[in-house]
Amino acid sequence: QVHLVESGGGVVQPGRSLRLSCAASGFTFSSHALHWVRQAPGRGLEWVAVIWYDASNKYYTDSVKGRFAISRDNSKNTLYLQMHSLRVEDTAVYYCARGEVVGIIEHWGQGTLVTVSS
C-alpha cells in the first residue's frame, strides 16, 4: 500500500527558510515522478513542483521558481522541498504526491501545514 508522510511544516517568519520532507513506502520509489502540491487555507489546489524518477528533470510553478528547490534521495525513499525567502502567500498545506504515467496524481500524503507569519 502506497504511503506518503510529510513532515517539516510549522510557523516561520517571512524571508526565512524551511525544508519539507516526504517519507515514502509501499512502492518502488525510484520508478516514479513525485510532486509537491499546496493548498492555502480555504483556497484551491496549486501545483508547486515535480521531480522525475531519476531527478534528471525538475519543474516549478512560476511563483516559487528561484526560491524553492525540489530534490529526492532514492536510497532513503525520501522527497524534499527546500523553501527559501518565504512569503506570507506561501502559507498552505503542502502535499507530497506520486505522479502516474497518464498524468494524474493518484496517491497523496496527509499534508503538512506551513504558516508564514511575523
Using alpha carbons only, give the angle 57, 92, 89 rounded to the nearest 5 degrees. Answer: 90
Q: How many residues bind another protein (CB under 8 A)?
A: 22
Residue 88's φ and ψ, nearest 5 degrees, are -55, -35
Cβ distance 72 to 80 under 8 Å? yes
- Site for another protein, residues 58 to 117, rule: CB under 8 A: 59-62, 95, 102-106, 108-111
**Closest CB to another protein among 13 and 57?**
57
Query: Judged by CB under 8 A, does residue 28 bind another protein?
Result: no
Q: How far is the CB of 35 from another protein (least distance, A)?
A: 7
